[in-house]
Amino acid sequence: MLKHFNVIIIGAGPSGLSAAIRAAEHDVSYLLLEATQAVASTIRSYQRGKLVMAEPRGLPLRSPLPFTASLRETVLENWEKSISEHKINVRYDAKVVAISRLKNKLEIELADGDKLTANHVVLAIGVQGNLRRLEIPGGDLPQVQYQLDDPEAYQNETIVVVGGGDSGVENALALTNRNQVIILNRAEDFSNLKESNLSQLMESRQKGAVDWLLETKPQSIEKNTKGEFPITLFANTPKGVERIPCHRIIARLGALPSRPLLESFGIAFPTADLGALPLLSTSYESNVPGLYIIGALAGYPLIKQGINQGYEVIEYILGNDVEPADTALLREKFSNFCTDRGVDDVLYKIQKNVPILAMLNTLQLRELVLESNILLSEPSDIIFKRNDYSTTFFSIIEGELDVLIDEDNVPDATLKAGDFFGELALVSGRRRPGTVRARTKCVIIETPRRVMQKLIGSVQAMRRMLNQVAIKSVVQVCIGLSLSEEDLNDVATHATLKSYNAGEDLFHEGDEADGLYLIQSGSVTVSRMIGGREVVLFYVAAGNYVGEMSLVSGEPRYATVRAAVATEAVLIKADRMRDIIARNPEIRSALDARYLNHLQEQEKRKQLESASDGSGAFTSQSTQSNLISFLIQQGVGEATDVLLIDESLCIRCNHCEQACADTHGGATRLDRDTGPIFANIRVPTSCRHCEHPHCMKDCPPDAIHRAPHGEVYIDDSCIGCGNCQQNCPYDVIQMAVIQDQPERSLWQMLLGIQPESLPTTNSAKVAVKCDMCKDITDGPVCVRACPVGAALRVNPEGLLGYASGTSGEVALLSSDEI
């Protein structure tokens, strides 16, 4: 039996089969090794009747291995036929246990003790043999499984599918005919799904066949001794812990490379992360000369990508040049940048110049660049302004930029090639904390938030670096730019990023001070025990801090701080914070001033509590507390703008609704009467323009956007799928037919508004919601149409200030003084 080959291919999945067929066409001496008794073991493990997708659709198929979107059984039948036609030299039950370098060849040892040698070895073993598991209490119960073989075997069950990737969604869709299915997705949307899977998922939800929870993680699983459901899943959601009784759980959490095995082959990884991918050249060669890696193991999980790589790797081995399928698109992207270099050279320069992008493999970098904009900025060009509502992320390839936090037009920091910025808005969803202006000519990559979120979720090293830099930025913004670089780095290195579910306490009234909490994302409420009951005093939004009162006074915590929504906070330990205060007089002065202001606010509250003017205004501390709690329940905790109606002033003329309808094609964006009410404050059914808009999640045409001043709006590309309406927890989106409006209405004439240019009416409904009249110079017409001043649009801080009888500015300032 022949023991030496030019090429040995390990793994008979799509990429390995493609490589074997291409080697056969070139009449190369090769052998295909498969550890099981059949080819394509991963696809064979798919549930029966599963439709196998051919994604990405625009990517051409280069290999003679046939593949189009079709049923699992059809794909396998076509591949078996192709294997026979090409007389593929395959050896089954050939498990590889070792690969080593012997001078000018590689030696392969099999589990049965046999040894083979080759000039080149192609690893195409995939990652499905090393599935991620639920590392939570109860994760080993028999009702928890990690694969779905036959969906028809289950009926009349409540099944929870954990995982929002293609595998999880495909399992969920296959089970919907006879079962109630709930998907738990840790991400905020389904941005990683293939287009066809996303379309089917949305259609199924519209029919009520499937439901899901986003930004949700399993916490524990308990076995039930009574009742219909054998187990209960406890899950952390943005609104707190949710209890989900069910019959079974199917966890599709992806898989990890078999790292110990690969490292025993001598293959290097860029980081210690278990999910890290091997270091590879652009021709798929590892650090071990002659050892190539393709397919999912190389970070290319889609079947079509793997098939193309199988074709390409044989061409590379034979010394033939092969241009990747996306090269033409990248060449166009770089047409105004580095025109004298090839695409690979430009990509290399990007990774060399920007350390955070060096963490990506070749595919991830190419995808990021294709989804991003290349900005060529001239000196003094503004990239974004302070208080802008944009969430894109920026990487500097060339040039320098100034950061201006204050309004004095004096740079507070300088960014250089290799740096990145925009991470705070990316994380928090809040306004930009400063202005960034080009100092020299610059080349910058601007990446959409959804692309960065996908990478953050899959590249742990990138997530850690972003968290570290975000912590540093939060420290600068919250406690002052006067910190020395040494102090800043020291704080950022030792600070801790902590996550809290809605309703979870950061600290309690009476606790000893453990440090200063900088609110990075989300929001918190501040409450005290007064008269034997807990009274909510304040609301604190992202970009502020809590806990400094005890650090200044040395006394126990003055109040309890609780997450109003899912919140992340940076904790600076008390001893380190006291050292910083001692070394930085400016910070000490600022904290002392806030402390004094806090004492004044305390005295003011005592006076308000004891006063009684009989007018029904919010002079009672108890009433203020109840109102603030009510407003938090209505979404103020994650809002950026809220419509408020003072029912004590409203005369029910309905001018607000009519003006809105007349201005927006006949469909009003608000419902004055249906919103919840407390005392004389009503929060009508109108968009809150959330920090992280729920409506943006799972919008197939990407029709929902955030304007620079924070307005969330829907553009004309809406297809009327209704996903945004279902995802909005506040029921402020409706499906309506937009009418032509060629003439100015009475309200438009009175308010000086030109009618919108609308397309020809058709019967199709589209999603409509408040856009805060973003294109109208004088602001929302609902407010301007109110004849008695009952309608107000305010940010959350201003609204809560109104509730407490103070200005928004005072309310926000007071909220920081705990």
pLDDT at 525: 84
List the one residue out of 547, 554, 552 whose CA is nearest residue 524.
547
Query: Is 755 a member of any domain?
Result: no
- Domain co-membership, 270 together with 246: no
Together in a domain, 537 and 671: no
Residue 265's pLDDT is 93
Q: Please tell me the pTM assigned to this model.
A: 0.57
pLDDT category of residue 615 using cuts at 50, 70 and 90: very low
Burial 387-410 (b: 16+ CB within 10 A, else e): ebbbbbbbbbbbbbbbbbbeeeee
- Rg (the chain; Cα; Å): 30
- Picking from 121-130, 198-207, 696-705, which range would have the lowest pLDDT averaged per residue? 696-705
pLDDT of residue 185: 92
Match 């990007």 to its residue by tokens: 350
The answer to the question of residue 391 being in a domain is: yes
Residue 781: is its pLDDT beyond 80?
Answer: yes
pLDDT at 496 over 80: yes
Q: Which residues contact 547 (CB under 8 A, 6 or more apart)?
A: 506, 507, 513, 515, 516, 517, 557, 561, 818
Q: Quick check: 727 and 697 in contact, CB under 8 A? A: yes
Together in a domain, 308 and 410: no
Instruction: Say which residue, 254 or 144, is predicted with more confidence.
Output: 144
Q: Are residues 522 and 660 in the same domain?
A: no
Has residue 301 got a pLDDT over 70? Answer: yes
Q: Residues 292, 408: one domain?
A: no
| Same structural domain, 565 and 686 | no
Domain with residue 684: its CATH number is 3.30.70.20
Q: Same structural domain for residues 800 and 658?
A: yes
Is the pLDDT at 602 greater than 50, yes or no?
yes
Mean model confidence pLDDT for the chain? 82
Range of the domain at 48: 3-129+257-322
Locate the DSSP E strands across 115-208: 115-123, 144-145, 158-162, 180-185
- pLDDT, position 472: 78
pLDDT tens digits, 18-62: 999 999 999 999 999 999 899 998 888 777 787 787 877 667 888
Among 228, 251, 274, give the residue marking a domain's end. Answer: 251
What is the predicted pLDDT for the residue at 158? 95
pLDDT computed for residue 294 by the predictor: 93
Segment 695-700 mean pLDDT? 73
CATH number at residue 391: 2.60.120.10
184: Cα within 13 Å, side-chain hemisphere: 25
In-domain check, residue 616:
no
Strands 248-251 and 144-145: what pairing?
Answer: parallel
Whether the per-residue pLDDT at 258 is higher than 90: the answer is no
Which amino acid is residue 459, in one-letter code? V
- The answer as to whether 655 is a domain residue is yes
794 lies in the same domain as 645: yes
* Cβ atoms within 10 Å of 248's Cβ, excluding its own: 20
From CA 719, how far away is CA 149, in angstroms rounded?
35
d(CA 711, CA 707): 5
Q: Which two tokens stand for residue 399?
A: 């040039």
Give the contacts of 543 (CB within 8 A, at least 6 positions apart). Answer: 428, 430, 431, 433, 477, 478, 519
In this predicted structure, what is the pLDDT of residue 809? 33
Q: Looking at the structure, tell me whether residues 678 and 794 fall in a common domain.
A: yes
Quick check: is 620 in a domain?
A: no
Distance from C-alpha of 609 to C-alpha of 619, rounded to nearest angstrom: 6
Give yes or no for a contact between 817 and 598, defined as CB atoms under 8 angstroms apart: yes
d(CA 33, CA 96): 8
Using the 3D structure, point to which of 565, 589, 605 is the last residue of a domain. Answer: 605
Taking the C-alpha atoms of residue 251 and residue 221, their distance in angstroms, rounded to an integer, is 12
| Cα 438–chain centre separation | 28
Which residues have C-beta within 8 Å of that of residue 205, sequence separation ≥ 6?
211, 212, 723, 726
Q: Quick one: which of 287, 455, 449 has its CA closest to 358?
A: 455
Matching residue, tokens 């809605």: 502
Q: Is residue 662 part of a domain?
A: yes
58 and 19 together in one domain:
yes
CA gap 653, 176 in Å, rounded: 48
For 495-503, what is the mean pLDDT? 83
666-694: pLDDT as tens digits: 778 888 887 788 777 888 888 888 876 87
| Domain at 240, CATH number | 3.50.50.60
φ and ψ of 58, to 5 deg: -80, -5
598 and 542 co-located in one domain: yes
The vertex-261 CA angle with 259 and 262, nearest 5°, equals 65
Confidence of residue 626 (pLDDT cuts 50, 70, 90): low
Band the pLDDT of 288: cuts 50, 70, 90. Answer: very high
> Which of these three, 233, 251, 269, is where a domain ends?
251
Nearest to 307 by CA among 592, 112, 62, 673: 62
Q: Assess if residue 629 is contained within a domain.
A: no
pLDDT band at 817 (very low <50, low <70, confident <90, very high): very low
Please tell me whether residues 91 and 202 are part of one structural domain. no
Q: CA-CA-CA-CA torsion for 693, 694, 696, 700, nearest 10 degrees?
A: 180
Residue 470 lies in a domain: no
**CB-CB neighbours of 113 under 10 Å:** 7
Residue 182: per-residue pLDDT = 95
Domain count, the chain: 5
pLDDT in tens, 707-764: 877 788 888 888 787 878 877 878 888 888 766 555 555 555 555 555 554 544 456 7
Taking alpha carbons only, the member of 17, 23, 19 closest to residue 44 is: 17
Backbone angles phi, psi at 657, to 5 degrees: -65, -40
Higher pLDDT, 99 or 681: 99
